[in-house]
């Protein structure tokens, strides 16, 4: 089997298993890069080959190395029923705290957006703690204005969850729904070429973060991090935040206990009480 045939089989396996487009892209790219470097047929690959490539890309982040190992392990187990990564120790994840906007920075960001559709999209990401993929996949049928809730269908980890429709966004959302129904669109947000992509949203947020003169590196996920942190600062129970974010594991949500700078600012040094 040639490396090209192997990668094509991998892509088929990933699609059958309902993997996300993001996972498919990363796993296919990792395998292509590996074969381009090692220059062997898939049947000849062994643990030493994987270690050689890991040494080659060792300057990359721990997360990149973990993704690479996961991609190789998945492909070889599913296609050749072997695991050339079995004896390789996984690097530890780097414990980086996520970038979080202050409430004032969120206000500045939203105020800088003159386009109504863009403003509604970005407001929803922050107000509901959406992943960008959840926003672009949000359908009109997922909204229940009678109960003021919405449904995220098959989010990350194939986990459904509900979200509250913010009252201050209800009117513009109803207008948006009416417009999309008139255009016979299935999704809440579309563009000239149909359904929006993650990249569309990323570019919009980057543009307006620069316009608002926010010095931090702002991405769609920054708004999700900010949503969780601000809820925590408002004393919302962390298990409720876990449900709103759609985290399967509480430990994923607990990172926000370390980034609540507003809470840290309230702590006085003991010298102030001398």
Reply yes or no on whether 224 is catalytic: yes
Q: Which of 221, 230, 239, 268 is catalytic?
A: 221
Nearest to 238 by CA among 258, 220, 218: 258
Q: Which of 119, 176, 225, 247 is catalytic?
A: 247
- Contact call for residues 169 and 86 (beta carbons, < 8 A): no
Nearest to 110 by CA among 264, 2, 234, 214: 214
Q: Angle at Cα 67 formed by Cα 65 and Cα 73, nearest 5°?
A: 100
SS (H, E, C) 185-230: CCECCEECCEECCHHHHHHHHHHHHHHCCCCCCCCHHHHHHHHHHH
Q: Which two tokens stand for residue 120?
A: 């509604």
Reply yes or no on whether 161 is catalytic: no
Distance CA 227, CA 244 (A): 10
- Contact call for residues 221 and 132 (beta carbons, < 8 A): yes
Whose tokens are 């009117």? That residue is 171
Reply yes or no on whether 126 is catalytic: no
Q: Which of 9, 156, 161, 206 is catalytic?
A: 156
Residue 75's Cβ-count burial label (10 Å; 0-12, 13-18, 19+) is buried
Q: Which of 73, 119, 131, 176 is catalytic?
A: 131
Q: Which of 73, 224, 225, 230 is catalytic?
A: 224
Reply yes or no on whether 156 is catalytic: yes
Q: Which of 74, 126, 208, 256 is catalytic?
A: 256
Annotated catalytic residues are: 131, 156, 221, 224, 247, 256
């Amino acid at each position: 089997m040639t490396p090209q045939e192997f990668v094509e089989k991998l892509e088929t396996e990933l699609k059958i298993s309902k993997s996300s487009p993001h996972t498919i892209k990363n796993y296919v790219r990792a395998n292509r890069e590996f074969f381009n470097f090692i220059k062997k047929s898939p049947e000849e690959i062994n643990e030493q080959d994987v270690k050689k490539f890991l040494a080659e890309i060792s300057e990359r982040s721990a997360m990149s190395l973990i993704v690479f190992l996961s991609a190789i392990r998945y492909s070889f187990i599913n296609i050749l029923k072997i695991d050339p990564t079995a004896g390789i120790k996984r690097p530890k994840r780097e414990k980086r705290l996520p970038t979080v906007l202050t409430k004032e920075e969120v206000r500045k960001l939203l105020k800088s957006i003159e386009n109504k559709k863009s403003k509604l999209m970005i407001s929803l990401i922050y107000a509901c703690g959406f992943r960008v993929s959840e926003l672009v996949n949000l359908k009109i049928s997922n909204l229940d204005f009678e109960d003021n809730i919405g449904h995220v269908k098959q989010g990350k980890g194939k986990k459904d969850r509900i979200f509250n429709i913010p009252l201050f966004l209800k009117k513009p959302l109803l207008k948006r729904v009416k417009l999309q129904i008139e255009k016979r669109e299935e999704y809440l947000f579309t563009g000239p070429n149909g359904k929006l992509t993650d990249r569309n949203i990323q570019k919009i947020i980057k543009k307006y973060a620069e316009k608002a003169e926010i010095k931090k590196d702002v991405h769609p996920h920054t708004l999700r991090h900010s949503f969780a942190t601000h809820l925590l600062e408002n004393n919302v129970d962390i298990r409720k935040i876990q449900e709103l974010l759609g985290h399967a594991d509480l430990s994923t949500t607990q990172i926000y206990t370390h980034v609540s700078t507003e809470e840290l600012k309230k702590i006085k040094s003991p010298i102030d009480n001398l």
